Amino acid sequence: MEHSNDGNLAQVQHVVLVLSGKGGVGKSTITTELALALRNAGKKVGILDVDLCGPSIPRMLSVGRPDVHQCDSGWVPVYTDAKKSLALMSIGFLMEDPDEAVVWRGPKKTALIGQFVSDVAWGELDVLLVDTPPGTSDEHLAVLENLKKHRVDGAVLVTTPQAVSTGDVRREITFCKKTGVRILGIIENMSGFVCPHCSECSNIFSKGGGEELAKLTGSEFLGSVPLDPLLSASIEEGKDFVQSFPNSATFSALTSISQTLLSSLQAA
């Protein structure tokens, strides 16, 4: 379905926000792995990295700091493969010094986010994932205000199992309800530790917080992703975990989550 009045988002089928109530829950990791799992399922995927203070996805996808080019319709996203099946635009590409801190006031951030949403020439995409900063700040409102001019299908919320994290995600759920964003589901990250030797899963933190939160709030529980040393190494080295470890339990979890998310989007 093409949306004729949506400018650069006209050929983007679905737009999904990835939110977390707090930092450190692995939101960017989940965004990256969801994108790779969706690509593995034959979908054309884009990632818009709006995490201005910690744009880590370029490293996770091993694209470095390429020059960003412009065409008649705006910025050309950076493609991670020759088939152009995974497109990325990140604030990290626009910073002269990768160690530079983004010390900007709200209006400047808001203006840049507006540009990001409107001025990237995405072309045809099945799903655009928007990696947002943690919390419910100005940046989130700017993303929503600019996306709502086009449309946003909903949000995926990332939490860890502990009560501290699920408490913060409750506030994120309230934010979604207040701003009229559909909650597509909750993902529990770092749900147990997979031993690299015997593949047994031990619950280091606790377990089930994300699923319990989904029940309490009437949201869909998309699934759990364990702490997996192979996944951590893939992220650090910028390798495609989904293609490298197709027999792992973590691969199965990510594939199942991406399929549930696709079904939810197509049912909307």
Closest CA to 229 of 206, 210, 265, 204: 204
Query: In terms of residues, how long is the chain?
Result: 268
Is beta strand 70-71 parallel, antiparallel or unpaired with respect to 78-79? unpaired
Closest CA to 16 of 60, 58, 50: 50
Does residue 64 have a known ligand-binding role?
A: no
DSSP codes joined into one string, 212-245: HHHHHHT--EEEEEEE-HHHHHHHHHT--HHHH-
Does residue 21 have a known ligand-binding role?
A: yes
Does residue 27 have a known ligand-binding role?
A: yes
Does residue 22 have a known ligand-binding role?
A: yes
Does residue 23 have a known ligand-binding role?
A: yes
Calpha distance 133→218 (Å, rounded): 24
Contacts of 157 (CB under 8 A, 6+ apart): 19, 20, 21, 169, 172, 173, 176, 183, 185, 186, 187, 219
The C-alpha angle 50, 11, 177, rounded to 5 degrees, equals 50
Does residue 209 have a known ligand-binding role?
A: no
Does residue 28 have a known ligand-binding role?
A: yes
First-to-last C-alpha distance (Å) of the chain: 13
Does residue 26 have a known ligand-binding role?
A: yes
Beta partners for residue 87, in sequence order:
46, 79
Known binding residues are 21-28, 195, 198
Known binding residues for ATP are 21-28
Known binding residues for [4Fe-4S] cluster are 195, 198
